[in-house]
Amino acid sequence: MKIVIGSDHRGVEIKRRLVAVLQSMGHEVLDIGTDGAESVDYPDFAYEVARRVGKGEMERGLLVCGTGIGMSITANKVRGVRAACCQDVLTAEMCRRHNDANVLCLSADLLGEDQMAQMIRIFLETPFDGGRHARRVEKITKIETEQYGQ
């Protein structure tokens, strides 16, 4: 799977380790930064990840910041992106099963590396259930169309 990953300065160290985890799982990974501990603005990186997923250049996205919340808010502004800020394996699974989420947002401050790796594996391996959930995702897409046009 083609995955794009990004972080702000608070997530940069864990992001580096997660890139290695993703590669060991056999995924093609594009790391769009940041690459250092100097303070940066998370919306810049969230947008770059979301843009690539929204355009279909990458299959999934992964974002890491202090809480994951700011990244999620920003990514969800991009058409075609359904970003989920997850706190545990259950939310990582359900965002895929019920919401067909395509960007996973994680907290560098609140989650451990092993827990993140497990959540990522579940996020990448869990299929969308479709059915009644597809109807709901279609309604999300309709809202995007009404807001942004064709």
Which residues are annotated as catalytic?
65, 98
- For residue 113, give every residue at least 6 positions away whose Cβ sits within 8 Å of its Cβ, in sequence order, or none: 14, 17, 18
Helix ranges restricted to H, 1-150: 12-24, 42-54, 69-75, 89-99, 113-125, 132-148
Give CA–CA dist 44/94, Å, rounded: 27
- Residue 141 in tokens: 């897409």
Segment (H or E) for 31: strand 28-31
What residue type is assigned to position 127 of the chain? P
